Amino acid sequence: MRSSNPKKRSLAHKTVLHILTGSIAAYKAGDLIRELRDAGARVRCVMTESSKHFVTPLVLRALSGEPVYHDFFSPDTPYDVLHTTLAEESDLILAAPASADFIARLAAGMAGDLASCIVLATRKPVVLVPAMNDQMYTHPLTRKNIETLKGIGYHFIDPVKGRLVCGRDAIGHVSEPQTVVARVAALLKN
């Protein structure tokens, strides 16, 4: 049941386009979608090809109540120009989790898949929530890519220290859904 608490409905009448990338942290997508919807947001999901190794389109469709997009060329795509339509219809683009690869491709201006094309086509706020191994997150190239994207106005919700897949407790664990929702709500309030 959706909350009727006005404080929890901080995203009422907002559309969040949620991009999932290839990170084990994608398993938390369900909790994030639920939190966004509880805050009143319409959530539309776009998956990179590698994200499908961690969560299925069917799960995301069930949780979001919306079609899930992953392919430019799907015959059941309802739009002529999918990437620009999804970009224009969204109030905010949220990549959570954002893998090192996705961040690097965005920083280089690459547009080889639906998710990166949407980011390039939008002029709405873009929020990236990195999740990766600590060695990858602290690598100079990843740091440079993050600074490049921050320099053009993208927002980041930094990873936290937590138990990583490799077994270490280190920085790189995806930020909690409540933290992400609070930041998204603050950005859209402004």
| CATH class of domain segment(s) 15-189 | alpha beta
What residue ranges do the domains of the chain occupy? 15-189
Q: How far is CA 20 from the centre of its chain?
A: 5
- Between 35-49, 74-88, 90-104, the lowest mean confidence (pLDDT) is in 74-88
Please state, rounded to an integer, the average pLDDT across all residues of the chain.
92
Type and span of the H or E element at 179: helix 177-189
Pick the closest to residue 89 from 121, 58, 52 (CA basis): 121
Would you call 54 helix, strand, or coil by DSSP? coil
At 126, the amino acid letter reads: V
State both tokens at 119: 């980011």
Would you call 183 helix, strand, or coil by DSSP? helix
Residue 28 to residue 46: CA distance in whole angstroms: 15
Which of 81, 165, 166, 186 is catalytic? The answer is 166
Q: What is the mean pLDDT of residues 142-150?
A: 98
For the chain, percent of residues with pLDDT exceeding 70: 94
Note the pTM of the prediction, 2 decimals: 0.92
- Between 60-74, 97-111, 114-128, the lowest mean confidence (pLDDT) is in 60-74
**How far apart, in Å, do the first and last CA atoms of the chain sit?**
28
* Predicted local distance difference test score (pLDDT) of residue 1: 42
Q: How far is CA 64 from the centre of its chain?
A: 14
Is 45 considered catalytic here?
no
Using pLDDT thresholds of 50, 70 and 90, give the confidence band for residue 76.
Answer: low
* Predicted local distance difference test score (pLDDT) of residue 6: 47
| Start-end of H helices in 28-173 | 29-38, 57-64, 82-89, 100-107, 114-121, 134-137, 140-151
